[in-house]
Amino acid sequence: MTDTFKVPIRNLFYLLSYANDLPEMVKSLNQVEDDLLTFDFLVEQFNREVQALLHRGLVKNYVSTVEETGTLSGRLLMTESMPHIIRRKPVVVCEKDVYSEDILLNQIMKATLESIHWNVDVTEKNRRMSFHLSEELYPVSTIVLSKELFSQINFHRHNMHYKRMIQIAYLLFELKLLSHKRGDWSLFTAEMDERTLNAIFEKFLFHFYRLEQQNYRVHSERMKWNLEGNKAYLPGMLTDVSLTHRRELKKIIIDAKFYKNMFQVYRDKQSFHSGNMYQMFAYVQHKSEQIEELRGVLIYPYNGVAMNETYRWDERMTMEIMTIDLDAEWKKINETLLMIL
């Protein structure tokens, strides 16, 4: 059976905002008290953004449409029109561009509103508001949301005021996907399996350190084996997060390991997971000779046992194991991660 973690929704907002590289969303969340950050709060913020956009007027653009018509207009599609011509029907098929609000930005807005309306975990007040707002978007087509659709959006001067709405819509979409994987969700907490949480936390760490500090260059590093022989069969070595100091000869390699239990047990003896230790040891052993200080840091979730252990190889290299409490206030999590540096 897969182990799971319960994560406060407020912290999951932060994790997803960083993981999806939404710095504006992070800044916005920092201005809200932790106790107010619930799923319903995010829904309410989305509804307000939609209200403001509707009041301002929906963005429009030229949309290509194909229709059967008795009047030649736009571009005649001969292949599609031939069956009508053969039957001597006074109809042809034409393609033309129409200036319309039925564009992807508004389609995502409408699909998100409809998703909220059918979500039983949202308060009745916000569900009703989402329904009424979606009714005002009657000229806009209904679509099925996907990550690919969000990736197609580009912001320019004429649609930049849609950016916050789209960012909130994407967070709500991510939360919906995650909730479908696990049924035990509420307005305040989400239960997540270790594999899903680990994938989110890896991306979170990368963008957190990229955005929240300036002393280190942040990258994912593909290391080469310092071995002679046929390297075709050697496994790859790709770090989750490598932090290389911009001015000093220092490097930190960070790896997130979200297991329910940070220990393995053999003959009634507890020890750290050997595979994780060997992997990190391989990373730090393949350091550049120019690096004067190298630290390998394994991060586990806090699960009743707080850990902060350091093991030294020599005057230049250390390995560290620590825990992060995802149930803590976000300010505390932020401080703990920055203290690693």
CA atoms within 13 A on the CB side of 160: 4
Residue 180 has pLDDT above 60, yes or no: no
Answer whether CATH 3.30.450 is correct for domain 195-339: no
Instruction: Note the pLDDT tens digit of each residue in 40-59.
Output: 888 999 999 999 999 999 99
CA of residue 118 relative to chain centroid, distance: 23
Which tens digits make up the pLDDT trace of 193-229?
Answer: 788 888 888 999 999 999 999 999 999 988 888 888 8
Of 42, 332, 339, 26, the closest CA to residue 187 belongs to: 42
Contact between 28 and 107 (Cβ < 8 Å)? no
pLDDT in tens, 285-331: 877 778 889 999 999 888 778 889 899 988 889 999 998 988 888 88
Mean model confidence pLDDT for the chain: 85
- Phi-psi sector, 229: left (phi>0), alpha (psi -120 to 50), beta: left
**Angstrom distances, CA of residue 187 to CA of 12, 118, 249, 325:** 12, 15, 46, 20
For residue 138, pLDDT beyond 60: yes
Rounded Cα distance between 45 and 28, Å, is: 11
Alpha carbon distance 197, 259 (integer Å): 10
162-178 burial by CB neighbour count: b if 16+ within 10 A, else e?
bbbbbbbbbbbbbbeeb
Task: Compare 191 and 278 and report the one with higher pLDDT.
Answer: 278
Which of 24-38, 210-224, 269-283, 285-299 tops mean pLDDT? 210-224
Across the range 103-122, mean pLDDT stands at 92
pLDDT recorded at residue 1: 47
Where is average pLDDT lowest: 135-144, 148-157, 297-306, 332-341? 297-306
Q: In 3-state terms, what secondary structure has residue 129?
A: helix
- Other CB atoms within a 10 A radius of the CB of residue 257 amount to 21
What is the per-residue pLDDT across 223-268, written as a single tens digit (0 to 9) for each?
888 888 888 888 888 898 999 999 999 999 999 887 766 666 666 7
- Give the residue with greater pLDDT, 29 vs 185: 29
Q: Are 243 and 209 in contact (CB under 8 A)?
A: yes
Pick the closest to residue 262 from 201, 334, 217, 324 (CA basis).
324
- pLDDT, position 59: 93
The average pLDDT across 268-281 equals 78
Rounded Cα–Cα distance for residues 125 and 49 (Å): 16
Residue 183, pLDDT score:
47
pLDDT tens-place string over residues 54-99: 999 999 988 877 877 777 776 777 787 788 778 888 888 888 778 8
Q: What are phi and psi of 218, to 5 degrees?
A: -105, 130
Number of H helices, E strands in the chain: 11, 15
pLDDT band (50, 70, 90) for residue 187 = low
pLDDT score for 148: 92
Q: Where in the chain is the domain with CATH 3.40.1350?
A: 195-339
What is the value of pTM for the model shown?
0.77
Task: State whether residue 242 is helix, strand or coil.
Answer: strand
Q: Cα-flanking dihedrals φ and ψ of residue 71, to 5°?
A: -120, 125
- DSSP assignment of 273-331 equals -HHHHHHHHHHHHT--TT-SEEEEEEEEE-SS---EEEEESSSSEEEEEEEE-TTS-HH
